Chains A and B, each alone.
Chain A
Amino acid sequence: MSLGLVVLIPYLGAVLAAWVARFGRLHSAWVAALVAGLALAWLLPHAPTTFAGATVVQRLAWLPAVGLDLAFRLDGLALLFALLILGIGLLIILYARYYLSERDSMGRFYAYLLLFMGAMLGIVLSENLIQLFLFWELTSLASFLLISYWQGREEARNGARMALAVTGAGGLAMLGGFLLLGEIAGSYELSVILASGDAIRAHPLYVPMLVLVLLGALTKSAQFPFHFWLPHAMAAPTPVSAYLHSATMVKAGVFLLARLFPALSGTPEWAWLLILAGGFTLLLGAFFALFKHDLKGLLAYSTISHLGLITLLFGMGTGLAAVAGVFHIINHAIFKAGLFMAAGIIDHECGTRDMRRINGLWKYMPHTATLAMVAAASMAGVPLFNGFLSKEMFFAESVHLSAGLTHGWLLLVAVVLAGVFAVAYSLRFIHDVFFNGEPVDLPRTPHEPPRWMKVPVEVLVALCLLVGILPAVTVEPVLAMAAASVLQGPVPPHDLALWHGFNPALLMSILALAGGLLLYAARKPLFVLADRWQGRLDARALYQRLLQGLFALAGGVTRALDIGSLQRLIALFVASAVLLGAAGFLGGEAPLTGGRALLPVDGVSLLATLGLLAASLGAVALHRRRLAALILTGAVGLVVSLVFIKFSAPDLALTQLSVEVVTVVLLLLALYFLPQRTPAESGLARRGRDALLALAAGGGAAALAWAVLTRPYESIAPYFLAQSVPEGGGRNVVNVILVDFRGFDTLGEITVLALAGLGIYAMLERLQLPGPDRDAEGRPWDWDTHPAIMASLTRLLLPLALLTSVFILLRGHNLPGGGFIAGLVTAVALIMQYLANGAAWTHARLPPNLHPVIGWGLAVATGTGLASWAYDHPFLTSTFGHFDWPLVGEFELASAMVFDLGVYLVVVGSTLLILIYLGLMHGASHVLRPDEEAR
């Protein structure tokens, strides 16, 4: 996996660079240079085979089942890009070491830079498209960090977020495109995809896939209408701009076009999308570049324009155009990196980048000026410099293309016009900055920068000249190698020479040069015009509006939905339940009433039902008089327990009864802290909605119950009846179900009860609530806190009640009763002591510490269950036996009774805990009151 290591090395280096920064400012720079050098050294051994035309693919299994492996590919195109990334990267590292000031953190800078370098290498070396996407998004993230390097500056933060949003969005679209491409080609691997171009182009999903993939490429390469992020990314430190916007980040988009050229190109959709986007961008970028007064702004728009040129070339779809595209990628990377560095030097030396102020620098820094002028000439496409060669090829290809189009001359005009503007803005870069009078009001006096800061520029400028003058010797082998892998086939004959004789391309070059000179001469009135247009045609404003729209939409939707209202939550839930139930039931043909015969209606049942209805309606009608409503709700519970009795379920009736009593006491305690009467809070519409919802929900529940009860019933219940005595050892089937057949449910439920107790304790412990001292009618709350008769009576009753509860507990397994009911009875008996005698009196006799009761209750229940492990049976397996004691006689003991004891303890503990703490709050509020009155 040596290719994988090339990608990995910068990542490891990033960590190292960040770490060594603590030992000294410059250590990070050295580490970064070493790391880039090491990656280069790791890559170069592959170069000879790649130059020979071989493609190396290395693979490491990752998610083989879905065709996602770590797969790296080195072919001509990948090697070219890797060399650009590492080579220019090394120069940038050297340059940045002098560029960054004392206040800038070197460690952070080089760490981010290396992260970015690794991500870029990952893109160009990927064999798998999904892996390519992975690194693609990493470049977006790393560029976010790099652009926002000067975090204190608002334009840096905004520029970074804009770049991330635009390129991130494009990347996500591209992922969608890659998924479709993988589906079409049957693989995410480039080897397969590049070989199945015809099948891909013929597929019905070709167009959506192409659009999505191109969205990724065009956003990354800052093509119209996504170009606007790039100028704002200029808020980054200049080394970052020099790196990202010459050889790397923005080149990733055109890299993708080159990479997928054999698979996707050659259709009208491909051609039109790219020619339109590229052509428009070419012209637009060149136009705006001329009118930017900011040095880096000029270069940014020039970059956009040159990327448009490359996009246009790939859009043409011919082999020669692709060769020209690759060639211009190389040339642009070289001269633009040099220009950015020169601009950085000027900025560094002058303290400003405004070309209206920096003039006549030739006198102050002739060396830098020479370098910059060479690079700018290359940008303009002047002969003898490398930019001229690829631009000639571009002109030639445009002529070729326009011949086949009905309005081909339009393209030629546009291309020449872009050339004119390119010459003009290059001239402006040279003339405005280095000549054109004296500097205006510069913060500092410029002079030549440190020697080594110029070295990277010198290297690049030398390359401009070497390629420009001796193309066949210098660049041709690299170009041939890269073009061969772009085309995945033979490279069409092309002649890299300065002189091709008189032809339309040369004529266009001459026109561009002459026109550019004229245009620059007439610049002054144009600038005035341009300043007036400022901000008219601004895609960034559109982006801002989109973003503001998004935030407004998000805020609107979120606030409209989430108003923090419990009523709304409940209403939505009830409505959903009604809808779901209705949708489920109405979807079929079956009748609501099933086939089961109905029981005859008897008078008592009718009466009870009427009572139930009356109580329910009364509770609704009186719901704002809480005490009355509570009493009526209690009546509902009592009728329910009567129903249980009618259907021969004494256990349930007993449970219901005791639960009802405890609940009412509890609610009474809670109501004490609420106002006696609630004012009407909802409007009529709201109440109408709620009434409708309630009717629908109640009707739905009734319909459901009706549907179930009228249908034949056949269940697992007979098993319980049959097995209760022989296997469960108890004649009270309900109790055996609770403690044995479904003892695990009961264990869960007593845990719930325990949690309720502990939770309420935890909540109430520190709560201070003011309690009212008068009731709704204005009477004092109580006349006699502890009435003597009640106190004496409850004291007398206590042993009786406790005895009863023990009795209920013990007989539970065979007769109505059990731990749950017994626990409630005990709790009620003890609560009576509190009510009658007060907390102080009761606490003196009965420690209020109920946590151990709950804890031991749970422990006993769980322990009973665990005991069966000792006999190699599952948890909660029960056993029972018959014993014969003198005097007592024969009786039965079941392990489930121990479990029931646990239930009993938890019920007593939790119920009392809740009631006592609510009651104590009541007491606390009373004790507080006199002090407050005193104030």
Chain B
Amino acid sequence: MSHLAIAPVLLPLLAGILLLLLRHGDIRLRRALSVAAVVAEIGLAVALLLAVSGGEILVYALGDWPAPYGIVLVADRLSAWLVLTTALLALFALLHALRGIDVAGRHFHVLFQLQLFGLAGAFLTGDLFNLFVFFEVLLLASYGLMLHGGGRARTRAGLHYVVLNLAGSTLFLFAVGTLYGVTGTLNMADLARQVAAVPADNVPVVRAAGLLLFGVFALKAALLPLHLWLPAAYAQASAPAAALFAIMTKVGAYAILRVSTLMFGAGAGPLADLLGGWLLPLALATLVVGMLGAVASTRLRAQVAYLVVASAGSLLTAFGLNTADSIAAGLYYLPHTTFAAAALFLISDAIAGRRGELADRFEPGPALPAHALLGGLFFVAAVAMAGLPPLSGFLGKFLLLRAALDHPWWPWVLGTVLAGSLLGLIALARSGSLLFYRARPAEGAPPPRQAGLTAELAPFAGLLLLGVGLTVAAGPLSDYARATAEQILQPYHYVHAVLGGGER
């Protein structure tokens, strides 16, 4: 039998275990292992994507227990898309860490691989409680990664992050417990069936549970007003960790999308469109608040973190519009914004590392070594993040706005997204100008040529190239996104693949 659906989950777990057992081994060996595992993960993710791209849904019953009794992993287009995005992102975040950050604390590679384990598991599981388990894996691994390297500010931000997210986990348990108590099942496909047929007396309970779940996912996705944990946490984490975290808000967005389409989709009877009226306005508000935060930031890392909040707003706007076109737009935009944010985190690190005491604060300082190169690359990354042409962010925004025109709220969406873009443009133009243009000429001799700058910036360039790839191959990729949106808007396929035709 084929184990393709579970392979991307198990590979990082095995790599993590191996790295833990080899923790005293040569660092070169461990680095090589870690990179090899991520490269192999990309290979597996590509294989998975190809396997499901025709519309097939792979169901993997763990322990051979039939659904809905055992746990199943379910790979459809959506899961494969996110797993691949994660794996690609991970490679470049990891490569950046190899330049020494990985030995600034303990167990970086173990935590990194287990984080990938949690991400892949969260994207592939078809069981609500198992999703909770993977959320826990993610939380603990990300907490470890966030604290990596230590320091006062980092520890403080990490504490806020972990305490709040533990509260989120508790709420998750409340919601899952309620759903199980009323529907008697945890399998998401089975839940979809049970929710659609829920007796009238139980409708309010299920609705409450569904909205509580939404609250948990909104916390993960950094939706207003639950976004406040993100800026400090991301701004304080080490660069490769922050870069990897660019996918973390997408886990929340993914869970919102999955649960709202599968369990509370059009076929859910009185519970259909559970999030209608909640998601879209909150997403638009998130976009605005995120952009305002970016404008108000006094440090580059904090600014990028706020841009991540704003991009979560854009993404959830697309999902909140809840049409095939808008979801497709969001799915096309998702890898772009992930890569762009990660790239900005990496370049921020390169910039901050060359400004001494000033680090990434928006204050004029001496001209950087390799000023022109860093400035140029920052410019490109900023253009990508702001969603300006010609990079893929512009296409994502175009697709989103185009899809929004069918919605009764289109003037709001159009106005907010365009105004948000303008705020992003103003914010990034200001920071670029402050960091690069207002530089005092370096005193004394010109700084020595930076050895290894190319190597340092290679992961960054790799992420940008992924963005270019998204732009050039926009046709087939947006077709895939469109097919994905259509697939998840017809949850019948998913339910049928997991449970078969018969009733329980």
Contact A762 B106 (CB under 8 A): yes
A580-597: which residues lie under 8 A (CB-CB) from chain B?
Answer: 580-591, 594-595
Contact of A758 among B106, B117, B160, B478 (CB under 8 A): B106
Stretch at the interface among A157-165, A327-335, A788-796: A157-165
| Minimal beta-carbon separation of A135 from chain B (angstroms) | 7
A549-594: which residues lie under 8 A (CB-CB) from chain B?
Answer: 550-551, 553-555, 557-559, 561-562, 564, 566, 568-570, 572-574, 576-577, 580-591, 594
Chain A residues near B6 (CB-CB < 8 A): 874-875
Q: Mark B150-186, 1 if CB is under 8 A from A, else 0.
A: 1000010001100110011001001001101111111
Chain A residues near B418 (CB-CB < 8 A): 172-173, 175-176
Chain A residues near B70 (CB-CB < 8 A): 741-742
Contact A570 B163 (CB under 8 A): yes
Give the size category of A's interface with B. 35 or more
Number of A-B contacts defined by CB within 8 Å: 342
Contact B475 A157 (CB under 8 A): no
Q: Is A845 an interface residue (CB 8 A)?
A: no
Known: A65-B482, A108-B372, A758-B106. A741 touches B389 (CB 8 A): no
Contact A550 B426 (CB under 8 A): yes
Contact A581 B60 (CB under 8 A): no
Contact A748 B121 (CB under 8 A): yes
Stretch at the interface among B93-101, B239-247, B349-357, B390-398: B390-398
Chain B residues near A744 (CB-CB < 8 A): 62-63, 71, 130, 133
Contact of A711 among B164, B181, B383, B389 (CB under 8 A): B181
Q: Mark A670-709, 1 if CB is under 8 A from B, else 0.
A: 0000000000000000000000000000000100100111
Chain B residues near A589 (CB-CB < 8 A): 200, 204
Chain A residues near B148 (CB-CB < 8 A): 762
Q: Is B412 an interface residue (CB 8 A)?
A: no
* Interchain CA distance A62-B476 in the complex, whole Å: 9
Q: Is A130 an interface residue (CB 8 A)?
A: yes
Contact B398 A874 (CB under 8 A): no
Contact A762 B226 (CB under 8 A): no
Contact B10 A875 (CB under 8 A): yes
* Interchain CA distance A878-B372 in the complex, whole Å: 61
Among B111, B144, B168, B297, find the residue whose CB has the most chain A CB atoms closer than 10 A. B144
Q: Is A169 an interface residue (CB 8 A)?
A: yes
Q: Is B500 an interface residue (CB 8 A)?
A: no
A101-150: which residues lie under 8 A (CB-CB) from chain B?
Answer: 108, 130, 133-135, 137-138, 141, 144-145, 148
| Minimal beta-carbon separation of A715 from chain B (angstroms) | 3
Q: Is B421 an interface residue (CB 8 A)?
A: yes
Contact B402 A179 (CB under 8 A): yes
Contact of B185 among A557, A585, A716 (CB under 8 A): A716
Q: How many B residues face the partner with a CB closer than 8 A?
A: 130
Q: Is A877 an interface residue (CB 8 A)?
A: yes
Q: Is A183 an interface residue (CB 8 A)?
A: yes
Known: A581-B211, A852-B21. A562 touches B184 (CB 8 A): no
Chain B residues near A568 (CB-CB < 8 A): 228
* Minimum CB distance partner of A136 in chain B: B389
Chain B residues near A16 (CB-CB < 8 A): none
Q: Mark B282-307, 1 if CB is under 8 A from A, else 0.
A: 00000001001101110000000010
Contact of A557 among B167, B292, B482 (CB under 8 A): B292
Contact A569 B164 (CB under 8 A): yes
Chain A residues near B68 (CB-CB < 8 A): 716
* Interchain CA distance A562-B21 in the complex, whole Å: 41
Contact of B212 among A179, A551, A580, A714 (CB under 8 A): A580
Q: Is A528 an interface residue (CB 8 A)?
A: no
Chain A residues near B75 (CB-CB < 8 A): none
Q: Is A755 an interface residue (CB 8 A)?
A: yes
Contact of A580 among B14, B211, B426 (CB under 8 A): B211
| Minimal beta-carbon separation of A674 from chain B (angstroms) | 13
Chain B residues within 8 Å of A, Cβ to Cβ: 1, 3, 6, 10, 13-14, 16-17, 20-21, 23, 60-65, 68-71, 105-107, 110-111, 114, 117-118, 121, 129-130, 133-134, 136-137, 140-141, 143-144, 147-148, 150, 155, 159-160, 163-164, 167-168, 171, 174, 177-178, 180-187, 190, 200-205, 207-212, 214-215, 218-219, 225-226, 228-229, 231-232, 270, 289, 292-293, 295-297, 306, 372, 379, 383, 388-390, 394-395, 398-399, 401-402, 405, 411, 414-415, 418-419, 421-423, 425-426, 429-430, 433, 436-439, 441, 474-475, 478-479, 482, 504
Nearest 8 interchain pairs by C-beta = A715-B184, A584-B208, A588-B204, A708-B181, A759-B144, A748-B133, A755-B140, A554-B295
A-B contact pairs, 8 of them (CB 8 A): A61-B475, A63-B399, A130-B398, A554-B292, A585-B207, A588-B207, A590-B200, A719-B69
Q: A576-B225, A587-B204, A755-B111 are in contact. List 8 more A-B contacts (CB 8 A).
A: A141-B388, A176-B415, A559-B296, A573-B226, A581-B208, A590-B201, A751-B114, A854-B20
Chain A residues within 8 Å of B, Cβ to Cβ: 61-66, 68, 108, 130, 133-135, 137-138, 141, 144-145, 148, 151-152, 157, 160-161, 164-165, 168-169, 172-173, 175-176, 179-180, 182-183, 208, 547, 550-551, 553-555, 557-559, 561-562, 564, 566, 568-570, 572-574, 576-577, 580-591, 594-595, 701, 704, 707-709, 711, 713-717, 719-720, 723, 740-745, 748-749, 751-752, 754-756, 758-759, 761-763, 765-767, 851-852, 854-856, 858-859, 862, 866, 868-869, 872-878
